[in-house]
Every structure is written in C-alpha cells, then in structure tokens.
C-alpha cells in the first residue's frame, strides 16, 4: 500500500500549509484573545477554494475529494483552530448535505454563494434538551400550504451569528420519532429567525457558537432536502462526513502543539543541557509523535473509504475518536513540556489545550463515537456468525 500523496493532494496540502504559515499562525493568538470572527481570513480561505472544497465546479466549488478536504483541514487548523471549525461546519455540515440531498434547483440556489464564501453556512441539529440523543429534538416545522412554519430553539450552532444559510433538522411529524424528522435549508434573509445566546467559550474563541430561535418562521416547501421524514438520515450521513473534518481539525491542533513543544525542548536548558536530551521529555515526544501518525492514518482511512464509495461511518467515528483524544493528550503533554510557561499566555500551549478539548465533544462526543463503532463492529460480527 502506497501512502504517498498524489500531485493534486500534495499541491492542496502545500497551498493550505503556506497559507496557514503566512496568514493564520501569526494571527491565531490575537483571534483567540479578541474572540472575533476572522472575516478577513475566511474571505482569503474562500478565495483559495477552501469554503467549497467538495462542491462541484459547476456550482463554483473546487470539486475536490474528501482526502483533499482532510489535508486542507489539518493545515488550516494547525494555523488556527477557530478557522478550522468555521471551515469544517461550512463545508461538511452545510455544503455536503445540500450537494448530496438537494435537487438541481436547491443546488443551483444555495451552493454557489456558499462555495465562494459570499455566504456562511450553519447546521442546526442540537437543542437545549437534546444533543447526543439527536432524535429527541422538539423543534417543529409544520406544513402550511407552500411553507413550513418552524418553532423551537437550536443550540451550540457553529457560525450561528454569521450564517445566512442554515441546514435545519426539525420535526415535520412530531408523532413519529426519527421517522418524522425532516431537513430544510433556511435562507435567513428570506426566512428570518432570531440569534439567541452567544456562548462565551473555553476555546475556539474566534468562531461563534449561538442558539437560533425560530418563532413562526416560514420556510418554503421548495427548501425541503429529500422527502419529508428523511431528515434524521440526512443528519446522520452529514455527521459521518463531518467527523472526518473534526478529526482533521484535532490533528492540526495536535500537530502545532507538538511542533512548538519540540522546538521548546531544543531551546530550553536545565541542569546543563537542553531539556529535549532528557529521557522524560523524549518519552513524551515519542508518544506524541506516534499518536499523531496513528490519527493521520485513521483519517486517511476514513477519507479514502468515503471517496471510494465504501461504507465509512465506523472509520470516521474511529478517526474522530482517536484524533480528538490524541489532540487532548498531545496538548496536555505539550503544556507540561513548557512547564510554567505553558500555563501562561505568552506561549500558545494553553490555547491549544483549550482548542483541543471541544473536538472530544462536538459532532458527537467520544461516547457517541464509541457507541457507533461498537454497534457497527457487533453487527459485522453478527453478519459473520
Ligand atoms: N447513516 C444513515 N442512517 C443512519 C445512520 C447513519 N450513519 N445512523 C443511524 N441511521 C438510521 C438508522 O438506520 C435508523 O433508520 P431506520 O429507522 O430506517 O431503521 C435510524 O437512523 C435511527 O437510528 P438509531 O436507532 O441508531 O438512532 P438513535 O436514536 O439510537 O441514535 C446516534 C443514533 C448514533 C446516537 C445518533 O443520535 C447520533 O449520532 N447522536 C450524536 C449527534 C451528534 O453528533 N450531534 C452533534 C451535533 S452537530 C454539532 O456538533 C454542531 C456544530 O456546529 C459543530
């Protein structure tokens, strides 16, 4: 098996890395400190094609595959974790379901403004009372002539403040559990809704996380993705893909924390030699490097399975589980290597710990990833028996 990247993939990786080195790494600390959406960086990312990576060229996207997306996500997130999640939610959770489940009219209306970054997208699934139990949602979209009338509150919405295109998952038939759930594209200009609480977060502070408040919001029936009742499946398929993006985000965060710890270990001296010459530090560096390589292999496994049209939900859950826990472990050790300097804001180590933590929670907690992996593994076993 050859793991050498082909020319296109290599070019995308190099382009994203060069952009991150020049534009994101020098700005990431300021973005975190100010906690303001980095519009100028996002516009530059859009100009590079990073906001519509898998959108077909006919809809102004870059027409690339999942591996290309994962490579770019790793590099962008290495530069700035907030930019990583903005890009990930926009590409995986908004462009992808419209591309996969939208009809020709919906693709033509919604994809070009998203792919060119003229519009930002958000995905509204979780609610104040339902996160992991996605089917336990309460928001309703009840048909009234040519419209659905939406009522309810959505929580933890990445890009909630900036987005003008929202993929909304809601009950069109509340009497049914997941089979009564549908997916709608809500154009915020055409169907205004409220922005509720803007969260004050631990990390990824440059991306907004808000609640969305729907009060008799009228959404055209023409914006229904697929058929009524398809919404839970739309959400699950979307998250299967999204988890590859978050895994790559986690990998990027782990990598930058590792690179900085490595550099520090060659610069800082104690007891007459650089600390990187001590076995205790080398053990940490060895574990960090190994974890990072393993995470990358799992991400590439999931991405290539998706690109080959194979079943990949189990692999994307494994990639997300392992990469996010790797990021937490690596960032913890990177801070430890920096000693007291790791705990203050002069260095980036504490920011990486904060940014990494959310990757174990959003787009499915580690507990949900284990549940998905266990269910799939047990059903494979049952099929073999
Ligand atoms: N692909 C396609 N269909 C799927 C599927 C998948 N991956 N997973 C489940 N389904 C289908 C099942 O086949 C079943 O279909 P039938 O009724 O036809 O048999 C149906 O969906 C219901 O499946 P389950 O019985 O397995 O559903 P469940 O209620 O037990 O839940 C779950 C399954 C995996 C726990 C799911 O609820 C889940 O993934 N929860 C986590 C949600 C999540 O990740 N939320 C993150 C929100 S997004 C975010 O973080 C915001 C952000 O902006 C970053």
Which residue has the least CA distance to atom 31 on ligand 1?
A: 133
Q: Is 363 a catalytic residue?
A: yes
Closest CA to 31 of 203, 217, 191, 175: 203
Centre of ligand 1 to C-alpha 159, Å, is 22
Centre of ligand 1 to C-alpha 295, Å, is 23
Confirm or reject: Cβ of 236 under 6 Å from ligand 1: yes
Which residue has the least CA distance to atom 12 on ligand 1?
A: 233
**Helix (H), strand (E) at residue 124:** strand 121-124
* CB crowding 330-368: b at 16 or more within 10 Å, else e: bbbbbbebbeeebeeeebbbbbbbbbbbbbbbbbbbbeb
Say if residues 294 and 326 touch (Cβ distance below 8 Å).
Answer: yes
Confirm or reject: Cβ of 233 under 6 Å from ligand 1: yes
Centre of ligand 1 to C-alpha 178, Å, is 9
Catalytic residue, candidates 363, 367, 376, 380: 363
Whether the model pTM is above 0.85: yes
Q: Are strands 147-158 and 140-144 parallel, antiparallel or unpaired?
A: antiparallel
Confirm or reject: Cβ of 180 under 6 Å from ligand 1: no
Closest CA to 141 of 109, 166, 116, 104: 166
Say if residues 16 and 76 touch (Cβ distance below 8 Å).
Answer: yes
pLDDT value, residue 201? 98
Confirm or reject: Cβ of 62 under 6 Å from ligand 1: no
User: Taken in order 281, 286, 287, 291, is the CA torsion positive or negative?
Assistant: positive
**Helix (H), strand (E) at residue 29:** helix 28-34
Helix-then-strand count for the chain, H and E: 12, 10
- 3-state DSSP assignment of residue 322: helix
Closest CA to 27 of 72, 76, 68, 69: 76
DSSP letters for 97-120: HHHHH--HHHHHHHHHHHHTTSS-
For a ligand 1 pocket test, name from 176, 204, 208, 232 the mutation site with the most ligand atoms within 8 angstroms of its C-beta: 232
pLDDT value, residue 63? 98
Say if residues 131 and 363 touch (Cβ distance below 8 Å).
Answer: no
Q: Which residue has the tokens 């996160």?
A: 131
Confirm or reject: Cβ of 361 under 6 Å from ligand 1: no
**Helix (H), strand (E) at residue 366:** helix 366-384
4-9 long-range Cβ contacts below 8 angstroms, 24+ apart: 5/71, 8/64, 8/68, 9/67, 9/68, 9/71
Centre of ligand 1 to C-alpha 134, Å, is 7
Ordered structural domains, the chain, with CATH: 7-119 (1.10.540.10), 122-229 (2.40.110.10), 233-384 (1.20.140.10)
pLDDT value, residue 245? 98
pLDDT value, residue 1? 83
CA separation for the pair 89, 42 (Å, rounded)? 13
CA separation for the pair 382, 348 (Å, rounded)? 47
Mean pLDDT by 10 residues, the chain (385 residues): 94 98 98 97 98 98 98 98 98 98 98 98 98 96 98 98 98 95 98 98 98 98 98 98 98 98 98 98 98 98 98 98 98 98 97 98 98 97 92
Q: Which residue has the tokens 């070019």?
A: 11
């Amino acid at each position: 098996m050859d793991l050498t990247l082909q020319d296109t993939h290599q070019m995308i990786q190099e382009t994203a890395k060069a952009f991150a080195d020049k534009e994101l790494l020098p700005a990431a600390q300021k973005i975190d400190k100010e906690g303001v959406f980095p519009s100028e960086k996002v516009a530059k990312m859009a100009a590079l094609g990073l906001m519509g990576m898998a959108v077909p060229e006919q809809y102004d996207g870059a027409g690339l595959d999942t591996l290309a997306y994962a490579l770019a996500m790793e590099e962008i997130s290495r530069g700035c974790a907030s930019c990583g999640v903005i890009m990930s939610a926009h590409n995986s959770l908004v462009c992808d379901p419209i591309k996969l489940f939208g009809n020709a009219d919906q693709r033509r209306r919604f994809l070009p403004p998203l792919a060119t970054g003229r519009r930002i997208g958000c995905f509204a699934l979780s609610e104040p009372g339902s996160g992991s139990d996605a089917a336990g949602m309460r928001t309703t979209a009840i048909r009234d002539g040519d419209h659905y009338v939406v009522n309810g509150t959505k929580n933890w919405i990445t890009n909630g403040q900036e987005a003008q295109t929202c993929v909304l998952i809601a009950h069109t038939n509340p009497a049914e559990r997941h089979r009564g759930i549908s997916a709608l594209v809500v154009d915020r200009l055409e169907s205004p809704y409220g922005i509720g609480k803007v969260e004050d977060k631990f990390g990824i502070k440059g991306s907004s996380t808000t609640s969305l408040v729907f009060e008799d919001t009228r959404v055209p029936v023409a914006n229904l993705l697929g058929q009524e009742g398809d919404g839970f499946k739309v959400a699950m398929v979307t998250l299967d893909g999204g988890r590859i993006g978050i895994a790559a985000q986690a990998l990027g965060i782990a990598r930058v924390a590792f690179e900085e710890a490595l550099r520090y270990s060659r610069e800082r001296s104690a007891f007459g030699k650089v600390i990187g010459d001590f076995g205790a530090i080398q053990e940490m560096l060895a574990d960090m490097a190994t974890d990072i390589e393993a995470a990358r292999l799992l991400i590439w496994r999931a991405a290539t399975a998706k690109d080959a049209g194979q079943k990949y939900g189990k692999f994307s859950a494994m990639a997300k589980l392992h990469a996010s826990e790797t990021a937490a472990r690596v960032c913890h050790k990177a801070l430890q290597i920096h000693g007291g300097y790791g705990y203050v804001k002069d260095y980036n180590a504490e920011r990486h710990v904060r940014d990494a933590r959310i990757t174990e929670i959003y787009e499915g907690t580690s507990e949900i990833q284990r549940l998905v992996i266990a269910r799939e593994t047990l059903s494979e076993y049952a099929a073999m028996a």
